[in-house]
Structure 1
């Protein structure tokens, strides 16, 4: 198959909406294992903005005289680290501290185990007094502005709560969606007042939905009719779920979330928020990052070349459709649940810190240039192509080859890439993610899937799982073979 790249024709600016993450659990940021992951993410430059929880339940208690008390020790350890690494932040103001909850016994774990990380639970009941929630939002915001400075914090995104449209996070015992939405709007109003009392220059948003459009519409109507501040809109998109994968009802497919994004965007325009940035602050090919192969054997795709192919196919599709996405954040949940290396949790690294193919795909996607180049190719629904050029003239071509649901065994695809506008001998780098390249899981398989790998095996798997570039010289065309469920990046300096 021939692919022709016109290096002289720039078609539009590419906004890198995809190199952002939600790091979970937030309280692993102060732990060695959490910082090891974040250090690598920082070194490889794959995340511009990182979402984290404020974990107000760790900050706020109440004194004997009824006044609120604040201990920012753990918060400051986490945020000092993140700010020190230069990450831009999206802060999710949650959860409800026990001391202000209307029912502190209304709890949820929303995890694989009976509790969350470090034995914690979520209180899902609303505050007993919204004035107390407003004060907490004000004091917390005032603290971070004083500690990190308004010029820094004004670049952050401050959002109200997490997935209030589903019972495990908000009003667990209330089945009526309208009542939950109305109560969340009270929560948002107090959140807005508390933050705006500190500064009008801060960026605030919501509703951080799991996906219920009726809840979303209720929220937008409330914001419009009451003239509340809304600087960005955030929601989550998961392509399917473990139960729907198991039942064969909805296999993984990079197009599964397109309809939801379009509907959310349409509703935003309908209520006058068409220019409001849309942030997908959690995405995954499947929901339930805290589930693994014990609940759904097919979640093995999170460990191998399928997930990297899915990611590149998805962002190429979103860019082609020009979906109005400002930021797209993979949710790295389940990381703390690992007991073995390749068990199907939704993270970037395994227990022995092997980089997964999905991580390597993020590294490659970060290399893409900022101007899209024109190209022509024969119609092939299985091949995704995103060619670009950077301001310094570096050319990149990002490729993904797979069937729609990644289950079909496609034949190898010979690909001849011809570059018009290049007439002299040039040096190129070829980066690959497939069964043989940058794939720790397949290296682990070839070693017999050892439960307790030796030091040498760990080194071998790590080396094989790490991205490496093949260098070559070419003049006008370059040849490569794409395997099934593979990713490639051609980089011409």
Structure 2
């Protein structure tokens, strides 16, 4: 069966962004066409969400937890049909022990000055969510403790001992609200596998709750900076799958072995200004990852759903290398189409390879995803790629024999033809980024150019009728450079009335 881990979660940036119409529209579109189930973002407790408030009254400090913005964001998620994947962070300034911040929007990344007050904030927030949405609902929301504490940009000094203290205090606070709430960590960035053993040893020795483990995965190298952007080399896509598999490997033999693994962020580049995110190459690169990632993890969350995103400041151009599957203005990028193609695949996997995934729906329809393999190198890929497949179609097939000598034979009533519909995204088809280049890269396109880009972003569609021989259809797929293609195959039951004769229509007669 095809795992749904690839669409179980998607990233948002920071939660505050969902107060904006453009971000909400992007999430609604992605939910409708792709079916994302959860959404994760930073800054749930940062000052721009206004949750932790301090005032002085009659000479004493008073603390109040205010949930107006948090309620509005979570309400919008649930109304869209998406549940939150909660990340507890960053630190409210009034509760912080220092002034170190990250990103343009200045999320505080220092430990709390008072762990009891931090625990009170965690308990108060979760109790409010339980009161508002119900305990059965909130139990379905993973609760992740912080973000990438192994990096000094995200956790002061990348202090492992201090993070373990934070995790312990937070996990106990979560379980004090309800023992069945899901809590986990340590939310590691790539290159921090040395944290797994100390984390497992610490939580085991001190009997700290852990319901899942999480990490992030990216494959880009050092940033080569240019104004308003970067370029980076990529390691091969298999490296992402190796990162997905790493937590289970490192936790083998520990008390945490077998726990669900969430990849709560992944992409090619970790930068929000790398143009690779806008390209067809990005889609072809990630196709094998989406096809196989569910073999290793419970979820892997694309970072992010929308270019309404501000880690490095307000984007300088409509195409700026943003993480989003969708640009400002809801222009679908090639990687968005990869996800939309995945959403049309069947539940049963019939075959898979380095450049294809063949699936079948419960009603017998076939859906094939094919792509040009790319390896992350800066060398230009070939301008063509050929995929040849023989797929079963029709009333059903029965297998005769077993092993290498087995064969398939058609059942009675096997159709003679099949309908084939193909959607293509490559360097020219379904690619608004290359259309934008052809338009001269307007930073802020007007309404007419936006309409042109929306038109250019639609995948090419073609259809045909093909013969069925021995219960099978032969697919001879020629893919253009960096192409991802979806082919849907459906048996035809001809119900044409005998009196119809298309050759009698002007222009369709035989010579």
Which of 290, 293, 303 is the equivalent residue of 2:278? 303
Q: Aligned with 1:197: secondary structure?
A: helix
Separation in structure 2 between the aligned mates of residue 149 and residue 468 of structure 1, nearest angstrom: 45
In the TM superposition, 1:111-130 aligns within 5 A as: 115-116=104-105, 121-130=106-115
Q: Which has the higher contact order (CA 8 A, sep 6+)?
A: 1
Q: Which residue of 2 aligns with 1:23?
A: 12
Q: Aligned with 2:110: secondary structure?
A: coil
Q: Aligned with 1:257: secondary structure?
A: helix
Q: What's the TM-score once normalised by structure 2's chain length?
A: 0.82
Q: Which residue of 2 aligns with 1:429?
A: 421
Q: Which residue of 2 aligns with 1:418?
A: 390
Does residue 208 in structure 1 map to residue 171 in structure 2? no
Which of 287, 291, 308 is the equivalent residue of 1:316? 291
Does residue 484 in structure 1 map to residue 481 in structure 2? yes
Q: Which residue of 2 aligns with 1:9?
A: none
Deviations 1:360-386 (CA, angstroms, capped at 9, x unpaired): 1111112222221036x8xxxxx5211
Deviations 1:99-131 (CA, angstroms, capped at 9, x unpaired): 22222xx22233xxxx32xxxx12222112211
User: Structure 1 residues 461, 102: closer, same or farther in 2, change over 3 A?
Assistant: closer
In the TM superposition, 1:62-101 aligns within 5 A as: 62-64=54-56, 65-101=60-96
Does residue 195 in structure 1 map to residue 174 in structure 2? yes
Q: Aligned with 1:428: secondary structure?
A: strand
Q: Which residue of 2 aligns with 1:56?
A: 45
User: Structure 1 residues 257, 444: closer, same or farther in 2, change over 3 A?
Assistant: same
Which of 343, 367, 377 is the equivalent residue of 1:396? 367
User: Structure 1 residues 374, 56: closer, same or farther in 2, change over 3 A?
Assistant: closer
Query: CA shift at 1:144, angstroms?
Result: 0.3
Structure 1 portions without partners, runs of 5+: 1-12, 293-298, 378-382
Equivalent residues of 1:21, 1:51 under 8 A apart: yes
User: Structure 1 residues 109, 151: closer, same or farther in 2, change over 3 A?
Assistant: same
Does residue 253 in structure 1 map to residue 236 in structure 2? yes
Which of 133, 136, 145 is the equivalent residue of 1:151? 136
Query: CA shift at 1:198, angstroms?
Result: 1.4
Equivalent residues of 2:143, 2:183 under 8 A apart: yes
Which deviates the most, 139-148 or 400-409?
Answer: 400-409
CA RMSD of aligned residues (A): 2.4
Separation in structure 1 between the aligned mates of residue 121 and residue 441 of structure 2, nearest angstrom: 50
Equivalent residues of 1:244, 1:251 under 8 A apart: no
Number of residue equivalences = 448
Structure 2 portions without partners, runs of 5+: 395-413, 491-511
Tell me which structure has the larger Cα radius of gyration: 2
Deviations 1:222-271 (CA, angstroms, capped at 9, x unpaired): 11222221111110011123427999995342123333333322112232
In the TM superposition, 1:174-253 aligns within 5 A as: 174=157, 180-211=159-190, 212-243=192-223, 250-253=233-236
Q: Which residue of 1 aligns with 2:399?
A: none
Equivalent residues of 1:244, 1:250 under 8 A apart: no
Deviations 1:249-296 (CA, angstroms, capped at 9, x unpaired): 95342123333333322112232322111100001101122xx2xxxx
